[in-house]
Amino acid sequence: RFTDKYVGLPVVSVSARIDGWSCIKYDNFTALKEGIHYMVEKQGCKKIAMVTGENTSEDAIDRLNAYKEALLECDMDIDESLVVYGDFSEKSKNKIRKFISTHPGVDAMVFANDLMAKAAYDVMDELGLKKVIPYTTRPIRSGEIDGVSYFFRTDQEADQMMADGRVIEMRT
């Protein structure tokens, strides 16, 4: 087992629960719900789609449940035809491309992870559609370009953006 190499070392897992290890999980449920509320209440979105992971993934199920709960809280119907099951990777492009081409009335999409969102950005670029680029305070990764997948900012810059009211969601 992979984890056997680390017996006796202090280890913390991020997101994945592993027996015997401490685990830090983000509150994706609340963050996703707040984002959907913002899209409905502040941006007037009426038809929001969700691209989630496989229905065997705990994270995918949690985020899909947040999506559905937020829609109900916003007095919107849950339309299963607006849910796309991807695979938490950029390989979801074909499913996203097919969805976009067959659902022209969708005015917003939310994604269960960054890789599927990036796949959608690529598809939207191919189709000449408008997209939103999020901000992040995480370090830039190899191959990423500021302003393409993300706008990369320091913690101080993000704090100032929050103080100025220019940020709709901040997760820590």
For the stretch 56-93, pLDDT in tens is 888 889 999 999 999 999 999 999 999 999 888 888 89
Q: Structure pTM?
A: 0.67
The distance in angstroms from the start CA to the end CA of the chain is: 31
Looking at residue 170, its pLDDT comes to: 58
Under-50 pLDDT residues of the chain? 172
Neighbours of 4 (CB within 10 A): 6
Task: Indicate the helix (H) or strand (E) that contains 53.
Answer: none
CA distance 94 to 24: 32
Looking at residue 102, its pLDDT comes to: 92
Looking at residue 80, its pLDDT comes to: 95
